[in-house]
Amino acid sequence: MSRLRVAVLMGGPSPERDVSLRTGQQIMSALDSQRYDVLPVEVLRDGHWVLPGRSAATLTAEASSPTGGTGAPGSSAGASPNDGRALVPARADALGIDRVMEEGPIDVVLIAMHGPYGEDGTVQGLLELAGIPYTGSGVLASALAMDKLRSRQLFGFNDIPVPAYLAVTRERAADLEALRAEVATTLSYPCVVKPNALGSSIGVTIVRDPAALDAALDVAFAYGALALVEEFIRGTEITCGVLEDPTTGRPHALPLIEIVPQREFFTYEAKYTPGASEEICPARLPEQIATRAAALAVRAHEVLGCRDMSRVDMFVRGGQVIVLEVNTIPGMTGVSLLPQAARAAGIEFPALLDRLITGALQRRRRSSG
């Protein structure tokens, strides 16, 4: 039986690039070499696409620390276009998918790119144009999930509880005294400031008093033109993986995970450093609340139109479940939450990847009639 050619797409210019490299390494290590011919494709920070020509094992050195050995999230280290064979010049008119195909026909792309360009619909649109099947959500769902403001607006229309928040542009932030007063009246302090379109807790600040608001907004604006200021929720942080049946497409919730960070919130370091947080599966919740949280996770997945998988981050405050955001390409590192939840449901990591690949191929068969 011939093996399926699976391209693992990782890296990219996003501040979450280093997590993406670790996810890609973990995926390549887990894919069954008897079933799959794995082609690693790395997108460098400058936009070049390269075939590193390295095995999964040799990627480990780059991906062995919370910052992937390239500095803090968002740093520009390790972006040389000469590291491997350049496939795509950083030009809009030469995307180079045809050069990837010269390596042999690609049956499916397993997307391991987090954050902007990889998780926001950009690379999904590229693959749609190229006619290559890929894992995960499509263009629209990816874009909506990455945009916290738009997704929360949709959740509100569908009776999915979200935190109280204000959307703040640079222009709105220019009148700082008025904004400080509005935050005090609408949300109160402490509050949370975060970029509108980024994950992994990058750019997130807890603001304890009005004097610290402007500095927190500066951090958030470093990652985009829109920031969210939202209420600080005192409660239990949980996450729920949603996995679709690869044949029917029907989504179901995986066991809930309760997150107990050592710090005040689930930071970038806590997410990707072993032992930096306690993760309890199943979450220690009353059955009624756990059932409600699982149902809301599936509903959020459906409202955005997600496919294959997602991870829905939530808080439980009293008896209320509050949805924070949906991650369409959750981390797949050794400490990541979705693989933990799948394992608790009896699905080991290689089998999880098999399901994602099968789902992508099934979609292609259905679309081609």
Catalytic residue chosen out of the listed positions 331, 355, 359, 363: 331
Catalytic residue chosen out of the listed positions 11, 12, 16, 62: 16
| Three-state secondary structure of 228-241 | EEEECCCCEEEEEE
Catalytic residue chosen out of the listed positions 137, 142, 310, 327: 327
Annotated catalytic residue 279: no
| CA separation for the pair 356, 369 (Å, rounded) | 21
Annotated catalytic residue 16: yes
CA nearest 114: which of 57, 63, 170?
63
Phi, psi of 260 (to 5 degrees): -120, 90
| CA separation for the pair 369, 362 (Å, rounded) | 11
Catalytic residue chosen out of the listed positions 200, 277, 310, 336: 200
Q: What is the DSSP letter of 256?
A: P
Question: How many secondary structure helices (H) and strands (E) does the chain include?
Answer: 13, 15
Annotated catalytic residue 331: yes
Annotated catalytic residue 311: yes
Q: Residue 233 is encoded by which pair of tokens?
A: 């929720």
- Cis omega before residue 52 (within 30°)? no
Annotated catalytic residue 327: yes
Catalytic residue chosen out of the listed positions 45, 311, 355, 363: 311
Annotated catalytic residue 313: yes
Catalytic residue chosen out of the listed positions 313, 336, 359, 363: 313
| CA separation for the pair 151, 143 (Å, rounded) | 9
Annotated catalytic residue 165: no
Q: In this structure, are residues 258 and 279 in contact, taking their beta carbons and an 8 Å threshold?
A: yes
CA nearest 212: which of 160, 176, 185?
176
Catalytic residue chosen out of the listed positions 24, 325, 336, 363: 325
> How crowded is residue 312: how many other Cβ atoms within 10 Å of its Cβ?
29
Annotated catalytic residue 200: yes
| CA separation for the pair 132, 363 (Å, rounded) | 11
| CA separation for the pair 241, 341 (Å, rounded) | 7
Catalytic residue chosen out of the listed positions 17, 237, 272, 279: 272
| CA separation for the pair 76, 243 (Å, rounded) | 34
Q: In this structure, are residues 41 and 21 in contact, taking their beta carbons and an 8 Å threshold?
A: no
Q: Residue 336 is encoded by which pair of tokens?
A: 């990541």
For the annotated catalytic residues, the residue numbers are 16, 200, 272, 311, 313, 325, 327, 331
